[in-house]
Chains A and B, each alone.
Chain A
Amino acid sequence: QQQVKQSPQSLIVQKGGISIINCAYENTAFDYFPWYQQFPGKGPALLIAIRPDVSEKKEGRFTISFNKSAKQFSLHIMDSQPGDSATYFCAAQGNFGNEKLTFGTGTRLTIIP
């Protein structure tokens, strides 16, 4: 019940295309869903996050779509660029103080020219 399932494991998208990464969870106590971006040799960094009171959040080219009834959320990267090539982790967290992040398994995204 604590798992967050993430797909696909790897993704290749052409420059300018839309990259879509999907996550699903079971634990209804989760109410905060961040996405972390990790470049090779670096630690993860928060990219964008959403709470379940909204169905979509957009920051620049990055959008999270959230479906509370299906317990699914996804990251969309519009106009994907080679600099977006990285590993993306979805995560989930409950609502009490400093509860640990439950990470998805990660998606390695490669943007090709």
Chain B
Amino acid sequence: DAMVIQNPRYQVTQFGKPVTLSCSQTLNHNVMYWYQQKSSQAPKLLFHYYDKDFNNEADTPDNFQSRRPNTSFCFLDIRSPGLGDAAMYLCATSTIGKQETQYFGPGTRLLVL
């Protein structure tokens, strides 16, 4: 089945220790998104790619970076995680176009100690 895969599902890191979350997709979608979702809150868009064209949300902290080496893979790097970065991180994909459905992965839950 075509899908959005996130690894790992759970990640524990130490305060200030860099961490990388990964997302892969078999949908062959051009657009990939990273969202942060804190407990009992809506997903918050961090950034997205149209193919290799990177688009950062204005309020995304500099601590968060992303890489998309090819169509299938996208990475979220948190350079110096703080306690406030503990959250679920969701990857989503869509085709290019107007109001296209976004397909979400299961998320990676990040715990910062």
Contact = CB atoms under 8 A, between A and B. Distances in A.
B48 interface: yes
B31 A98 contact: yes
Interface stretch (B11-19, B69-77, B79-87, B89-97): B89-97
Interface residues of A, number: 23
B41 A46 contact: no
Given A43-B90, A46-B101, A98-B31, A106 B106 contact: no
B48 A100 contact: yes
B42 A98 contact: no
Given A44-B104, A106-B40, A106-B42, A97 B96 contact: yes
Contacts of A89: 42-43
Contact of B107 (A43, A95, A97): A43
Contacts of A62: none
A98 B97 contact: yes
A12 interface: no
Interface of B: 4, 31, 40-43, 45, 48, 50, 57, 90, 92, 94, 96-107
